[in-house]
C-alpha cells in the first residue's frame, strides 16, 4: 500500500530539458520531417508518371541517406520510440522502392507505353487490353 496518501495520484514530472537537449530534439524532428517527405514523396512521384522516374530516384536516395543518418542519431541520442519506429518503417519503404525503380528504368519504354495506354483506356475492356499488351512485351519470366 501507499504509505503517504496522495502521492500515488501525482504523476512524476520529467525534469526540464536543457537548451542543448532542446536544440538536439528540434534538429532530430526537422530531419525526421524531411525524411518523411522524401519517403512518402518517392512512391507518390513514381506512380504519377514514369517520365518522373529520375525525381523518384532522387527522393529514394535522399530518403535512404536521411534514414540511415536519422536511425543512427535516434539510437545514439535515445530519441523517442516514435522517431525510431517511423525511421525503420520509412527505410523499409525506401528499400522496397529500389528494385521498383531499377525495374522501371530497365523497362522504361514499355512502362511508358503502358501508362499512356491506361491513360487512354475508358473501359474495362480497354484496360484489360493494355495489361495484355504490356504482358506480351515483357520477357516471359516476368509477365
**pLDDT tens digit string along 58-74?**
999 999 999 999 988 88
The per-residue pLDDT for 62 is 95
Average model confidence (pLDDT) across the chain = 84
67 and 26 share a domain? yes
Instruction: With cut-offs at 50, 70 and 90, classify the pLDDT of residue 10.
Output: low
139 and 76 share a domain? no
123 and 96 share a domain? no
Are 45 and 104 in contact by the 8 Å Cβ rule? The answer is no
Instruction: With cut-offs at 50, 70 and 90, classify the pLDDT of residue 3.
Output: low
The per-residue pLDDT for 127 is 92
65 and 113 share a domain? no
Are 59 and 41 in contact by the 8 Å Cβ rule? The answer is yes
In a domain, 128, yes or no: yes
In a domain, 39, yes or no: yes
43 and 99 share a domain? yes
In a domain, 4, yes or no: no
The per-residue pLDDT for 51 is 84
Say whether pLDDT at 78 is over 90: no
The per-residue pLDDT for 4 is 58
The per-residue pLDDT for 42 is 92
Taking residues 20-47, what's their average pLDDT?
87
Measured in Å, how far apart are the chain's first and last C-alpha atoms? 68
Q: Which domain holds residue 71?
A: 20-106
45 and 75 share a domain? yes
28 and 56 share a domain? yes
Report how many domains make up the chain.
2
22, burial (CB in 10 Å: exposed 0-12, middle 13-18, buried 19+): exposed
Amino acid at each position: 500500500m501507499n504509505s503517504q496518501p496522495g502521492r500515488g495520484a501525482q504523476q512524476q514530472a520529467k525534469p526540464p530539458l536543457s537548451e542543448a537537449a532542446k536544440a538536439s530534439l528540434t534538429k532530430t524532428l526537422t530531419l525526421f520531417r524531411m525524411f518523411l517527405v522524401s519517403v512518402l514523396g518517392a512512391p507518390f512521384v513514381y506512380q504519377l508518371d514514369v517520365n518522373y522516374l529520375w525525381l523518384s530516384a532522387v527522393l529514394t536516395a535522399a530518403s535512404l541517406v536521411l534514414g540511415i543518418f536519422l536511425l543512427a542519431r535516434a539510437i545514439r541520442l535515445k530519441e523517442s520510440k516514435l522517431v525510431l519506429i517511423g525511421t525503420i518503417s520509412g527505410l523499409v519503404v525506401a528499400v522496397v522502392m529500389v528494385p521498383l525503380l531499377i525495374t522501371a528504368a530497365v523497362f522504361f519504354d514499355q512502362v511508358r507505353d503502358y501508362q499512356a495506354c491506361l491513360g487512354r483506356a475508358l473501359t474495362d475492356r480497354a484496360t484489360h487490353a493494355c495489361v495484355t499488351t504490356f504482358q506480351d512485351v515483357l520477357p516471359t519470366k516476368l509477365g
